Structures are given as structure tokens and as C-alpha cells.
Amino acid sequence: MALILSSAVSALDSFGVGMRVITHNVANISTEGFRSSRARYGDNPDYGGVRVEEIRRIPIVGRQDTEMARMRVSARDAVEAAAEVAAQNRLEEYRAIEAKAADDLQIERELTEAIITERAYEANMTMVRVYDDMLGTLIDIAV
């Protein structure tokens, strides 16, 4: 029976870490250059249950493509200054649209992760409550 409790407690600790990672991401969502992180969970071989295997930063999608496009635009239009300015303006507009879309997707992703983590936490809290009820029943029977 103690394995049930240690399994649930290790999962609660792990999902607590996961929720802190999510809140850190949400708190810094408007910070320029910030890259969000994700907690990756795995089996806990020592106590059973769940543990955080790693906290990994998520790569910024599309930024490298944008930089490559900017370099190609600059190299191709270097001869004609007017065309270069127009291309740069288009690139800046594209970046603004891309940044807006990335921000919108990021907050949705964070909120989805928060709900999933919260449900996993609640499930393990239920295990702790059931363990407590079972232990109380056993003590009542023994007394």
C-alpha cells in the first residue's frame, strides 16, 4: 500500500514542476526572445509513478526561415536600393504577422498544457485520498 502513496506523491511533485514550467512560460510570453519550455515526464524506477525526465526549451519555429529569407532578399536586391527597401518592408510586415500568429498559438498551447497537467494532478490527488480512506478503514477495523 505504501507503493500507491509514494507513486502518487512522486507524480504530484512532477506535475507541480510541470505547472511551474507552464506558469513561467505564460509569465514571459511577451518577453522578446523568450523561448518556452516543456517538462517531459517518464517512469520513476525508484518509487514508481512519474518523474520529470527533462525540461526542454522549444525551438522557435519559422525564425530561421525568416532570417534566411532576409539574407536572400538583401543579397538579391543589394543592387537596387529602392527594391531592397520595399523587400525589407515586406519582410518586416511578414515578421509582424508571424510574431502575432506565434504568440496566439503559444498562449493556446500553454493553456492546453495547463489543463492537462491540472487533470493529471487531480487524478493523483484522488489516489492519495483513496489511500487515506483505505488506511482509515483499516485502522477502524483494527481498533
Q: Which residue has the higher pLDDT, 5 or 86?
A: 5
- Give the Cα separation of 124 and 129 in Å (integer): 9
Q: Are 60 and 35 in contact (CB under 8 A)?
A: yes
Region 34-55 average pLDDT? 86
pLDDT band, very low/low/confident/very high, at 30 (cuts 50, 70, 90):
confident
Average pLDDT, the chain: 78
Q: Which residue has the higher pLDDT, 42 or 84?
A: 42
DSSP E strands in 3-132: the ranges are 37-43, 50-57
CA distances from 130 to 9, 34, 92, 140 (A): 13, 41, 57, 15
State what percent of residues in the chain have pLDDT above 70: 69
